[in-house]
């Protein structure tokens, strides 16, 4: 009878160990699956963020090259049209011309449209201009100037 009990107890112990291993594997599997799901969510978020226009580096570069005699009143960015409309006031006509030349030389600038009406006044010159941006200037770290 003792042998029978020992055999039954041994079988029960093996069955219990097997069940515990199965539960542990299941918990580890569930944890791994959750980790995989979270990694996929993070990768999806990273791709979405990478595809969003990044105006901040471009605006920082613009502000860095804006001379003291130029006051920017309004910046309107259009990521679909790839344009940046700038309006403001220059202390002098020459400062505005120099600023336009600087903008034309920026790495993010495809072209610059500035009407002749910008340079009618000699001092306290109000201006409007539109910078057409290069294709990838809002989606890479290439939104930098010379």
pLDDT (0 to 100) of residue 144: 41
Q: Flag whether 125 is in a domain.
A: yes
Tell me, what CATH number does 73's domain have?
Answer: 3.30.1360.100
Task: Please say whether the beta carbons of 92 and 122 come within 8 A.
Answer: yes
Q: What is the pLDDT of residues 40-61, one digit of tens each?
A: 888 888 777 777 788 889 999 9
SS3 21: helix
Domain count, the chain: 2
Domain holding 93, by residue range, is 55-133
Whether 99 shows a pLDDT value over 80: the answer reads yes
Helix (H, G, I), strand (E, B) or coil at 54: coil
Return the DSSP state at 83: E
Q: Please report, in angstroms and rounded to a whole number, the separation of the first and last CA atoms in the chain.
A: 93
pTM listed for this prediction: 0.63
Assess whether 36 and 64 both reside in one domain. no
Q: CA neighbours within 13 Å on the CB side: how many for 88?
A: 24
């Amino acid at each position: 009878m003792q042998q029978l009990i020992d055999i039954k107890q041994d079988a029960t112990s093996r069955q219990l160990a097997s069940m515990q291993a199965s539960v542990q594997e299941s918990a580890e599997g569930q944890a791994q699956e959750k980790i995989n799901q979270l990694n996929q969510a993070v990768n999806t978020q990273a791709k979405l963020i990478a595809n969003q226009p990044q105006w901040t580096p471009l605006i920082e570069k613009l502000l860095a090259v804006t001379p003291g005699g130029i006051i920017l009143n309004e910046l309107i960015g259009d990521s679909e049209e790839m344009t940046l409309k700038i309006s403001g006031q220059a202390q002098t006509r020459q400062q505005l011309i120099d600023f336009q030349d600087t903008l034309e030389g920026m790495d993010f600038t495809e072209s610059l449209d500035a009407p002749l009406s910008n340079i009618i006044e000699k001092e306290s010159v109000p201006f409007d201009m539109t910078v057409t941006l290069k294709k990838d200037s809002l989606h890479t770290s290439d939104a930098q100037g010379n």
